[in-house]
Amino acid sequence: MFGVDVTSYLIGTKKMGKFRNTIDLDVGNLKFQYNDGQVFTSKRRKKSIIVMGRFVDAFNPERSPNQILEVLLDSNDVEELIYKNRSLAGRYIIIYQFDGRLIIVPDACATIPVTFTTCGHLYVASNPKNIATLNGWSESRLSKKIKSRATNTHPLPYDMTMYDNIKKMPPNHYFLYNSKVRDVVRYYPVSRKVPVSVKDAAELSSKLLKNIIQAYFNHFKLALPLTAGIDSRLILSLCKDIVREIPSYTFFHNRFTVQTPDIVIPATIAKRFNFEHLIIHHTKVPDDVRKQVYNELGSNLSKLELQNAWTYSHTQLAEYTRLDGNISPLAKSSFGRNLPELLASPSYLVTKTHNYARENRREIRRWVNDIYDYASFSNISKYDLFFWEHRIGNWNANAYMTADLFSKSLNPFNCRYLLETWLRVPRKQRTNGEIHKAIISMNWLELLELPINPDRRFRTVYANPILYYLGVRGKYTLNRYRR
Q: Is residue 456 part of a domain?
A: no
- Return the pLDDT at 458: 60
3-state secondary structure (DSSP) of residue 36: coil
Q: Does residue 300 sit in the same domain as residue 438?
A: yes
Q: Does residue 260 sit in the same domain as residue 395?
A: yes
What is the CB neighbour count within 10 angstroms for residue 198?
A: 18
Q: Does residue 182 sit in the same domain as residue 216?
A: no
Q: How far from the centroid of its chain's Cα atoms is residue 206's Cα? A: 20
Q: Is residue 464 part of a domain?
A: no
Residues 129 and 138: their CA atoms lie apart, in Å, by 9
Residues 410 and 2: their CA atoms lie apart, in Å, by 19
- Return the pLDDT at 426: 95
The predicted-structure confidence for 198-234, as pLDDT tens digits, reads as follows 999 999 999 999 999 999 999 999 999 999 999 999 9
Q: Is residue 104 part of a domain?
A: yes
Picking from 186, 212, 242, the residue at the C-terminal end of a domain is 186
The backbone region for 247, taken as left when phi is positive above 0, alpha when psi lies in -120 to 50, beta otherwise, is: beta
3-state secondary structure (DSSP) of residue 52: strand
- Return the pLDDT at 91: 98
pLDDT along the chain (483 residues), means of 10: 83 96 95 97 94 98 97 96 98 97 98 97 98 96 94 90 97 96 96 95 98 97 97 98 97 93 97 98 96 93 94 97 94 92 95 95 97 90 97 94 96 98 96 96 98 76 79 88 76
- Return the pLDDT at 79: 96
Residues 93 and 96: their CA atoms lie apart, in Å, by 10
Q: Is residue 403 part of a domain?
A: yes
The domain total for the chain is 2
**Residue among 312, 182, 193, 309 nearest 247 (CA):** 312
Q: Does residue 252 sit in the same domain as residue 306?
A: yes
Q: Does residue 312 sit in the same domain as residue 413?
A: yes
Residues 128 and 113: their CA atoms lie apart, in Å, by 9
Q: Does residue 215 sit in the same domain as residue 182?
A: no
- Return the pLDDT at 1: 59
Q: Does residue 209 sit in the same domain as residue 247?
A: yes
The one-character DSSP state at 389 is I
Q: Does residue 240 sit in the same domain as residue 268?
A: yes
- Return the pLDDT at 3: 66
Q: Does residue 215 sit in the same domain as residue 318?
A: yes
Q: Is residue 483 part of a domain?
A: no
Task: Give the range of the structural domain holding residue 63, as residue numbers without chain letter.
Answer: 9-114+169-186
- Return the pLDDT at 377: 87
Q: Does residue 299 sit in the same domain as residue 241?
A: yes
Residue 43 φ/ψ, nearest 5 degrees: -140, 140
Q: Is residue 478 part of a domain?
A: no
Q: Does residue 282 sit in the same domain as residue 395?
A: yes
Q: What is the CATH number of the domain that holds 289?
A: 3.40.50.620
Residues 336 and 122: their CA atoms lie apart, in Å, by 38
- Return the pLDDT at 466: 81
Q: Does residue 319 sit in the same domain as residue 406?
A: yes
Q: Is residue 55 part of a domain?
A: yes
State the pTM of this model: 0.95
Q: Is residue 191 part of a domain?
A: no
